[in-house]
Structure 1
Amino acid sequence: MTSAAGSRERRDQIVRLATETGLASVEELSRMFGVTASTIRRDLARLTADGRLARTYGGAIAVTAHPESSLRQRVGEGFEAKRAIARWAAERIQTGETILLDAGSTVGALAHELRDAELLTVATTGLTALMELADVESVHVECLGGTLRPLSQGFVGPLTEAALERMTFDRVFLGTDGVNADGDICEADLRQTRLKELMARRAREVYVLAHAAKLGEGPFHAWACLPLPWTLVTDAEADPEFVKTLRAKGITVEVAEPAG
Structure 2
Amino acid sequence: MTQTLRHPEILEIARRDGKVTVDRLAAHFGVTLQTIRRDLSDLAEAGRLERVHGGAVLPSGTSNVAYEERRALNTGAKRAMARACAAQIPNGISLFLNIGTSTEAVAQELLHHTDLLVITNNMNVARILTANPDCEVILTGGQLRRSDGGLIGALAVESIRAFKFDLAVIGCSALDTEGDLLDFDIQEVGVSRAILAQSRRTFVVADHSKFSRKAPARIASLSAVETLFTDQPVSPPVAEACAGWSTRIVVTGAGPR
**Residue 199 of structure 1, CA deviation:** 0.2
Pair 1:256–1:246, CA change in 2 (3 A) = farther
SS of the aligned residue for 1:160 comes to: helix
Q: 1:223 aligns with which of 207, 218, 222?
A: 218
**1:84 alignment counterpart:** 80
The one-letter code of the counterpart of 1:247 is C
**Could you tell me whether the CA contact under 8 Å between 2:182 and 2:220 is conserved in 1?**
no
Return the alpha-carbon distance in structure 2 between the equivalents of residues 79 and 229 of structure 1. Answer: 24
Return the alpha-carbon distance in structure 2 between the equivalents of residues 152 and 238 of structure 1. Answer: 28
Q: 1:213 aligns with which of 191, 209, 214?
A: 209
Return the alpha-carbon distance in structure 2 between the equivalents of residues 254 and 233 of structure 1. Answer: 5
**1:255 alignment counterpart:** 251
**1:19 alignment counterpart:** none
**1:141 alignment counterpart:** 137
**1:174 alignment counterpart:** 170
**1:184 alignment counterpart:** 180
Deviations 1:135-161 (A, max 9, x none): 321110000121112233211111111
Pair 1:117–1:193, CA change in 2 (3 A) = same
Runs of 4+ in 1 over 3 A off after TM superposition: 257-260
**Residue 64 of structure 1, CA deviation:** 5.8
**Residue 104 of structure 1, CA deviation:** 0.5
Q: RMSD in angstroms over aligned alpha carbons? A: 2.2
- TM-score under structure 1 normalisation? 0.70
SS of the aligned residue for 2:224 comes to: coil
Residue 244 in 1 paired to residue 239 in 2? yes
State the number of aligned residues: 197
**2:15 alignment counterpart:** none
**Stretch of structure 1 that moved more, 187-196 or 221-230:** 221-230
The one-letter code of the counterpart of 2:160 is L
**1:164 alignment counterpart:** 160
Q: 2:146 aligns with which of 134, 141, 150?
A: 150
- TM-score under structure 2 normalisation? 0.70
Return the alpha-carbon distance in structure 2 between the equivalents of residues 123 and 64 of structure 1. Answer: 34
Return the alpha-carbon distance in structure 1 between the equivalents of residues 225 and 133 of structure 2. Answer: 33
The equivalences for 1:15-54 within 5 A come to none
SS of the aligned residue for 2:110 comes to: helix
**Could you tell me whether the CA contact under 8 Å between 2:76 and 2:255 is conserved in 1?**
no
The one-letter code of the counterpart of 1:230 is E
Return the alpha-carbon distance in structure 1 between the equivalents of residues 61 and 235 of structure 2. Answer: 26
**Could you tell me whether the CA contact under 8 Å between 1:106 and 1:209 is conserved in 2?**
yes
**Could you tell me whether the CA contact under 8 Å between 1:81 and 1:258 is conserved in 2?**
yes
